[in-house]
């Protein structure tokens, strides 16, 4: 699965919770560069990190991350 097939709304959820990239990075235990890379769809987070993000915003994973690829 390519990075391009995945889309996310992390930036929107971060703005909704008034968090800076640095604050979000500290809360989920990654670097700010990782948050930037996820937001710009250049890096796919691991399942564990995706759960952490979803749990932080109290939503389901699929609310933040969506798969835009073709069904096989």
Partner 1 sequence: MNRKKYKQLRIIVTFFVSAVVSMAVIRDSYLLAATGVLTGMVFMVLVRVKAKIRTDERESTIQEKAARMTYAIFAPTIGVAAFLLLLPSKGGISVFSKGEWLFTESLGMVFAYLTLFLITVYAISYHFFNRKYGGGGNEE
Query: Residues in the site for partner 1, rule: CB under 8 A?
Result: 26, 29-31, 33-34, 37, 43, 45-46, 49
Among 44, 39, 9, smallest CA distance to 25 is for 39
In whole angstroms, the minimum distance from the beta carbon of 16 to partner 1 comes to 24
Going by C-alpha positions, the residue among 42, 27, 39 that lies closest to residue 64 is: 39
Alpha helices in 9-46 (DSSP H): 10-16, 21-28, 32-39
User: Rounded to the nearest whole angstrom, what is the least distance from the CB of residue 71 to partner 1 in the complex?
Assistant: 27
Chain Cα centroid distance, residue 33: 13
Q: Which is nearer to partner 1, 16 or 40 (CB)?
A: 40
Nearest residue (CB) to partner 1, 16 versus 31: 31
Cβ distance to partner 1 smaller for residue 13 or 50: 50
């Amino acid at each position: 699965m390519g990075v391009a097939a995945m889309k996310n709304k992390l930036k929107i959820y971060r703005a909704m919770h008034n968090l800076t990239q640095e604050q979000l990075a500290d809360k989920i235990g990654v670097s700010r560069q990782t948050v930037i890379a996820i937001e710009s769809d250049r890096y796919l987070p691991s399942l564990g990190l995706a759960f952490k993000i979803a749990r932080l915003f109290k939503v389901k994973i699929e609310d933040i991350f969506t798969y835009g690829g073709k069904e096989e």
